[in-house]
């Protein structure tokens, strides 16, 4: 097992984007893994009144409103089904493809949709009347009539999950530079893909995303799924060169505190909280650079969704030469590690609901991948079942899912 490779892969951190961007990110990391690990760059500047310090004098640490940890409360959605879901972009949710996706759920064991409410660019994907959200963000009516959508989901007995991309947010970063990471020349930092992040140290950013979540609950979503709950990839390489407000507290604590804060704020609304995290996080130590600690995050959510796509594991993982070509063994190995990591949490252990692969990873090159279809998807589900995991989410960036899969293995 190559730990350097694993940490590089963990730096990706997010589930994906509607336009194959996730797969492109993976391809870039696979190529980059041939070189010494490069951990991305970032800046912070949350408080307009705070002078940019470029990593100098630390600002006071945020004081999250989350109360000290107590025993996990009862499931806020005790009547929720065993979720078997699919990812749905806002474009699909608001367009003609929704008919096809609803038909898929109607005729199969699938019962849930994870829908972009704040997408990978940072757009709120529907028209909101909330003046503060309008002022901070840039709502776009990709979903033309959000109330009509929620009615349709209810009519089709779909368990609705709102996906909110948190700290990867080019819209907020560019509109409110003081909430982002700033280069020495005063420009907003962006990664190689052109994406900007907002500062996880800044509680205004926390509140903004939780306010979006609160509105999603009012609209009828039963679960809030937070994605990109991390610092930018490779942040530790530029943490001292970018301008932003920060504290001396470890990044893993800052990220965990955001999750605790979100849980505390949303708990009174009776909604589940879930977080996406890279699958490698279960198999390696905490990713200090991006601030993700599998256990710290899992302890404060109702559901944890590790992204365990076989295509994301390199040669040798779980004793498999080409993990993408052996989805059963790869998923089984990842779940063994996940249980080992989370079993010590006892009553704090959340529902484990992995993201699995329903796309073909052709970027791996000839001989290292297979075309994914019915057999490969079913092999992943069977591996989960054999490890006592009976919930899952299917990822396909274009929302084109394999036909005739038996989802109830």
Indicate which CATH number applies to the domain containing 259: 3.20.20.80
- Give the model's confidence band at 253: pLDDT under 50 very low, under 70 low, under 90 confident, else very high: very high
* Residue-level pLDDT at 286: 85
Q: How many CA atoms lie within 13 A of 246 on its CB side?
A: 27
* Residue-level pLDDT at 287: 84
Asked, for residue 384, whether it belongs to a domain, the answer is yes
* Residue-level pLDDT at 262: 98
Over residues 182-207, the mean pLDDT reads 97
Domain that holds residue 361: 3-48+83-395
Asked, for residue 58, whether it belongs to a domain, the answer is no
**Number of domains, the chain:** 1
Mean pLDDT (the chain) is 86
Over residues 55-76, the mean pLDDT reads 50
Over residues 93-109, the mean pLDDT reads 98
* 172 or 71, which is more confident: 172
Rounded to a whole number of angstroms, the CA Rg of the chain reads: 20
Over residues 1-5, the mean pLDDT reads 41
Global pTM value: 0.86
Question: Is the pLDDT reported for residue 138 higher than 70?
Answer: yes
Closest CA to 299 of 268, 253, 331: 253
- The predicted-structure confidence for 268-315, as pLDDT tens digits, reads as follows 999 999 999 988 888 888 888 899 999 999 999 999 999 999 999 999
Asked, for residue 64, whether it belongs to a domain, the answer is no
Asked, for residue 162, whether it belongs to a domain, the answer is yes
Q: At what angle do helices 146-155 and 203-219 cross, to 10 degrees?
A: 50
Asked, for residue 56, whether it belongs to a domain, the answer is no
Over residues 318-337, the mean pLDDT reads 96
Q: Report d(CA 325, CA 91) in Å as an integer.
A: 31
């Amino acid at each position: 097992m190559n730990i350097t490779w694993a940490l590089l892969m963990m730096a990706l951190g997010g589930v994906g984007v509607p336009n194959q961007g996730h797969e492109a990110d993976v391809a870039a990391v696979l190529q980059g893994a041939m070189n010494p690990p490069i951990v991305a760059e970032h800046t912070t500047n949350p408080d307009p009144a705070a002078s940019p310090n470029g990593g100098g004098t630390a600002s006071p640490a945020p004081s999250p409103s989350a109360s000290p940890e107590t025993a996990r409360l009862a499931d806020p959605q005790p009547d929720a089904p065993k979720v078997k879901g699919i990812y749905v972009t806002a474009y699909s949710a608001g367009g003609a493809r929704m008919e096809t996706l609803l038909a898929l759920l109607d005729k199969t064991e699938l019962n849930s949709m994870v829908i972009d409410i704040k997408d990978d660019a940072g757009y709120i994907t529907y028209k909101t009347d909330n003046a503060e959200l309008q002022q901070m963000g840039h709502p776009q009516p990709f979903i033309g009539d959000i109330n009509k959508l929620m009615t349709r989901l209810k009519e089709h007995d779909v368990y609705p999950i709102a996906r909110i991309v948190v700290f990867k947010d080019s819209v907020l970063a560019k509109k409110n530079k003081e909430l982002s990471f700033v280069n020495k020349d005063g420009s907003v930092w962006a990664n190689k893909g052109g994406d900007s992040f907002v500062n996880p140290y800044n509680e205004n950013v926390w509140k903004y995303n939780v306010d979006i979540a609160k509105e999603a609950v009012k609209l009828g979503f039963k679960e809030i799924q937070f994605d990109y709950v991390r610092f930018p990839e490779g942040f530790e390489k530029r943490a001292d060169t970018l301008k932003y407000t920060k504290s001396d507290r470890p990044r893993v604590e800052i990220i965990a505190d955001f999750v605790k804060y979100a849980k505390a704020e949303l708990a009174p609304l009776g909604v589940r909280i879930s977080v996406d995290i890279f699958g490698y996080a279960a198999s390696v130590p905490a990713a200090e650079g991006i601030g993700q600690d599998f256990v710290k995050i899992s302890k404060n959510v109702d559901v944890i969704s590790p992204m365990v796509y076989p295509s994301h594991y390199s040669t040798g993982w779980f004793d498999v030469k080409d993990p993408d070509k052996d989805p059963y063994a790869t998923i089984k190995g990842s779940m063994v590690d996940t249980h080992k990591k989370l079993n010590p949490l006892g009553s704090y252990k959340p529902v484990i609901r992995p993201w699995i692969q329903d796309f073909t990873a052709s970027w791996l090159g000839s001989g290292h991948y297979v075309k994914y279809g019915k057999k490969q998807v079913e092999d992943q589900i069977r591996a989960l079942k054999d490890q006592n995991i009976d919930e899952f989410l299917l990822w396909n960036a274009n929302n084109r899912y394999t036909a005739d899969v038996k989802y109830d293995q």
